[in-house]
């Protein structure tokens, strides 16, 4: 009787435990985890300010006049620098693309803020210039009637040249290269190849900088000397620039994928050669062993 009573009490306790909510049955002590600075710095792949500064310096030293970066030279120079972690060529190029994208986004945000303040205060178009500007210079800094372009001080634009490693400088170099190409082609539609379409939020800063370059080129020409062919050439060069820089990320991905497939194919080819040599050697040894066994076999 006593055993039956104990069994019935155990069943009642089990039924009560099953009826309890899941949250009350699975209570566990939660131990707060505090992340330290040492653990975050120990993660692989993180870039320090020293590495970013060194990467900018190496890229500025290994960039030609056309704006093309020699990543092979950058990788070799990176390996020669002491007290720096080992980075591959793909890692260096990927980090440089992130730096360019962030810098271009910041430039576009500042440009949009400046344009917004100018639009809200149309009367103060000369705000930001020096106070000792003469009336002649102020008269030259006026709004143009063509395409709603606002003129700026040309001397200040020429003096304010961006550094070589900035995204703005890269866009300017690409635009100048495409502008020379567009001038050679001219307005001959049979020679003009339509630029590849590109989409995404990353092209908006590029479009903003290209618009500024087109406007500055139109201001140098002047509204009186501007013709339709010149405008067509500038717009075509701007479209080529946006297409080239916008598709650069996709092109880099395709190049990385192609490099991976090429290296994998070479490794498989090497393995096939090793397997073939090993198979031939095994067959040769088997034949020799059979011959030796046949010679050692006793004759009746």
Tens of pLDDT along 33-46?
444 444 444 445 68
In terms of pLDDT, which residue wins out, 270 or 44?
A: 270
Task: Give the separation between CA 255 and CA 220, rounded to whole angstroms.
Answer: 39
Q: According to the model, what pLDDT value does residue 298 have?
A: 63
In terms of pLDDT, which residue wins out, 288 or 94?
A: 288
Residue range 209-244, pLDDT digits in tens: 888 888 888 887 766 666 777 888 888 888 888 888
Q: At a CB cut-off of 8 Å and minimum separation 6, what does 73 contact?
A: 62
CA nearest neighbour of 74 among 165, 177, 180, 179: 165
Looking at the predicted structure, is the pLDDT value of residue 275 above 90? Answer: yes
The two three-digit tokens of residue 92, written as one number: 């260096």
Question: What mean pLDDT do residues 188-202 have?
Answer: 74
Question: What mean pLDDT do residues 160-185 have?
Answer: 74
Question: What mean pLDDT do residues 195-203 have?
Answer: 77
The two three-digit tokens of residue 39, written as one number: 């653990």
Residue 248 is inside which H or E element, if any? Answer: helix 248-296
The two three-digit tokens of residue 295, written as one number: 């010679």
Task: Give the separation between CA 237 and CA 227, rounded to whole angstroms.
Answer: 16
Task: Give the separation between CA 266 and CA 79, rounded to whole angstroms.
Answer: 25
Residue range 30-83, pLDDT digits in tens: 444 444 444 444 445 688 888 888 888 888 888 877 678 888 888 888 888 767
Residue 36 vs residues 39, 41, 45, 49: alpha-carbon distances, Å: 5, 9, 17, 19
Q: At a CB cut-off of 8 Å and minimum separation 6, what does 153 contact?
A: 129, 137, 141
Kindly list the domain boundaries of the chain, sorted by start residue. 49-246
In terms of pLDDT, which residue wins out, 63 or 285?
A: 285
Question: What mean pLDDT do residues 147-153 have?
Answer: 40
CA nearest neighbour of 233 among 219, 214, 261: 214
The two three-digit tokens of residue 283, written as one number: 């067959």
Q: pLDDT category, 205, cuts 50, 70, 90?
A: confident
């Amino acid at each position: 009787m006593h055993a039956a009573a104990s069994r019935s009490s155990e069943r009642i306790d089990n039924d009560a435990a099953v009826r309890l909510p899941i949250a009350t049955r699975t209570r566990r002590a939660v131990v707060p985890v505090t992340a330290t600075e040492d653990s975050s710095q120990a993660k692989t792949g993180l870039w320090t300010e020293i590495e970013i500064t060194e990467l900018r310096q190496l890229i500025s030293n290994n960039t030609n006049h056309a704006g093309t970066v020699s990543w092979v030279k950058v990788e070799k120079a990176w390996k020669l620098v002491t007290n720096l972690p080992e980075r591959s060529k793909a890692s260096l190029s990927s980090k440089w693309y992130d730096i360019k994208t962030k810098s271009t986004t910041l430039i576009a945000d500042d440009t949009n803020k400046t344009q917004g303040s100018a639009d809200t205060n149309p009367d103060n178009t000369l705000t930001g210039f020096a106070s000792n500007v003469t009336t002649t210079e102020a008269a030259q800094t006026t709004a143009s009637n063509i395409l709603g372009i606002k003129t700026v001080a040309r001397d200040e634009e020429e003096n304010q040249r961006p550094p070589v490693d900035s995204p703005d400088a890269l866009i300017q170099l690409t635009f100048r290269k495409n502008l020379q190409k567009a001038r050679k082609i001219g307005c001959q539609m049979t020679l003009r190849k339509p630029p590849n379409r590109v989409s995404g939020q990353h092209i908006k800063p590029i479009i903003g900088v290209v618009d500024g370059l087109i406007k500055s080129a139109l201001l140098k020409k002047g509204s009186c000397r501007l013709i339709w062919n010149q405008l067509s050439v500038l717009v075509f060069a701007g479209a080529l620039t946006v297409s080239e820089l916008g598709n650069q990320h996709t092109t880099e991905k395709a190049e990385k994928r192609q490099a991976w497939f090429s290296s994998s194919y070479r490794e498989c080819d090497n393995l096939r050669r090793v397997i073939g040599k090993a198979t031939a050697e095994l067959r040769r040894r088997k034949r020799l062993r059979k011959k030796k066994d046949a010679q050692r076999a006793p004759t009746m």
